[in-house]
Amino acid sequence: MANVAAKIHIEGLVQGIGFRYFAYRKSQECGVTGYVRNLRDGRVQVYAEGDQDCMDRFLRLLRRGPAGARVSGFDIAQTSYTGNYKEFTVLFDI
């Protein structure tokens, strides 16, 4: 299976409810690498890399989000796989 990468922007009620930690836990379950961070405009940004099946599962989980989340927008931009990420991290760089 080919490796793929995507940058995802998630909007709605997605900050202050544990969305980043949800993404982290699900990345571990799905076997994807990359990062998640809050953006100043209220969205959450995720960059993820992995094989197609893992990414499909991870994206389905992100669309739903954790309990308490209300995802109203989900924008995926496919990008080139880099292999630069060895793990999935939570960034705190707002």
Give me the active site residues, please. 20, 38
Which helix (H) or strand (E) covers residue 24, if one does?
Answer: helix 19-30
Give start and end residues of each alpha helix (H) in 51-90.
52-64
53: left (phi over 0), alpha (psi -120 to 50) or beta: alpha
DSSP letter at 17?
Answer: S
